[in-house]
Chain A
Amino acid sequence: MSSAAISIHNSLQRIYAIMVKELRQLSRDRPTFGMIVMIPLIQLLLFGFAINTNVRNLPVALVDQSNSEITRTLVADLTASQVVNFIQQYPTPAEAANALTRGEIRAALIIPKDIAQRLNDERPTAQWLIDGSDTMVGNAIFALKNMPLTTLNSRALAGNYNSTKSTFEMTLFYNPERRSAINIVPGLVGIILTMTMVLFTSAALVRERERGNLELLITTPVKPMELMVGKIVPYVFVGLIQMAIILGLGHLIFDVPINGRLDQLLLAALVFISASLTLGMLISTIAKTQLQAMQLTVFLLIPSILLSGFMFPYEGMPKLAQWIAEALPATHFIRLIRGIILRAGTLMDLWPDLLWLASFTVIGLLVAAKRFKKRLD
Chain B
Amino acid sequence: MTTIAIETQGLTHRFGDFTAVDNLSLSIPEKTIYGFLGPNGCGKSTSMRLITGLLTPTSGKIRVLGMDIPTQTEELRLRIGYMTQKFSLYEDLSVIENLRFIAQIYNLDPRLSKLRINEQLAAYELNERSSRLAGSLSGGQRQRLALACATLHKPELLILDEPTSAVDPENRRDFWEKLFDLCDQGTTILVSTHYMDEAERCHGIAILESGVKRADGSPTQLMKDLGAQVIEIGGDNLRQLKQQLIAHADIISAAQQGTHLRVLIKENIAQPQAWLQQTFVETMQGRDLTLVRPSLEDVFVHCTGEGRQ
A contact set with B: CB distance below 8 Å: 211-222, 374-377
Contact = CB atoms under 8 A, between A and B. Distances in A.
B77 A220 contact: yes
A375 B86 contact: no
B91 A211 contact: yes
B102 interface: yes
Nearest to A218: B54
Given A219-B52, A219-B54, A222-B105, A212 B86 contact: yes
Contacts of A216: 82, 84, 88-89
Contacts, number: 50
B107 A213 contact: no
A221 to B, nearest CB: 5
B132 interface: no
A211 B86 CA distance: 9
Contact of A376 (B55, B102, B107): B55
Nearest to A214: B88
B84 A377 contact: no
Interface string B78-90: 1010101011111
30 contacts: A211-B88, A211-B91, A213-B89, A215-B86, A215-B88, A216-B84, A216-B88, A216-B89, A218-B54, A219-B52, A219-B54, A219-B80, A219-B84, A220-B77, A220-B105, A220-B106, A221-B74, A221-B77, A221-B105, A221-B106, A221-B107, A222-B105, A374-B54, A374-B73, A375-B56, A375-B70, A376-B49, A376-B54, A377-B54, A377-B55
B105 A213 contact: no
Interface in B119-149: none
Contact of B78 (A221, A374, A375): A221
A218 B55 CA distance: 11
The 4 closest A-B pairs by CB, nearest first: A216-B88, A219-B82, A212-B88, A212-B86
A211 B54 CA distance: 18
A211 B87 CA distance: 9
Given A215-B84, A219-B84, A221-B77, 4 more contacts: A212-B84, A219-B52, A219-B82, A221-B78
A213 B90 contact: yes
B151 to A, nearest CB: 13
Nearest to A213: B88
Interface of B: 49, 52-56, 70, 73-74, 77-78, 80, 82, 84, 86-91, 102, 105-107
B74 A377 contact: no
Contact of A220 (B87, B90, B102): B102
B190 to A, nearest CB: 13
A115 to B, nearest CB: 72
B51 to A, nearest CB: 11
Contacts of B77: 219-221
A42 to B, nearest CB: 32
A375 B56 CA distance: 8
A220 to B, nearest CB: 5
Contacts of B53: 375
B2 to A, nearest CB: 26
A340 to B, nearest CB: 38
Q: Interface SS of chain B: helix, strand, loop or mixed?
A: loop
B92 to A, nearest CB: 9
A216 B80 CA distance: 12
A376 B87 CA distance: 17
Nearest to A223: B74
Nearest to B46: A376
Nearest to B89: A216
Nearest to B149: A216
A216 B86 CA distance: 10
Nearest to A221: B77
Contacts of B73: 374
Contacts of A221: 74, 77-78, 105-107
A213 B73 CA distance: 19
B76 to A, nearest CB: 10
Contacts of B74: 221
B139 to A, nearest CB: 15
A212 B83 CA distance: 11
A155 B128 CA distance: 98
A190 B14 CA distance: 47
B89 to A, nearest CB: 7
A300 B61 CA distance: 45
Nearest to B15: A377
A204 B178 CA distance: 35
Contacts of A218: 54
A216 B49 CA distance: 12
Contacts of B84: 212, 215-216, 219
Contacts of A222: 105
Nearest to A220: B105
Most B C-beta atoms less than 10 A away, residue of A219, A221, A374: A219
A301 to B, nearest CB: 27
B133 to A, nearest CB: 14
Contacts of B105: 217, 220-222
A74 to B, nearest CB: 68
A218 B73 CA distance: 11
B55 A375 contact: yes
A132 B95 CA distance: 58
Nearest to B86: A212
Nearest to B80: A219
A222 to B, nearest CB: 6
A374 B56 CA distance: 11
Nearest to A377: B55
Nearest to B49: A376
Contacts of B56: 375, 377
Contacts of B86: 212, 215
Contacts of A212: 84, 86-88
B103 to A, nearest CB: 11
A374 B74 CA distance: 10
Contacts of B82: 216, 219
A374 B55 CA distance: 9
Most B C-beta atoms less than 10 A away, residue of A212, A220, A374, A376: A220
A220 B74 CA distance: 9
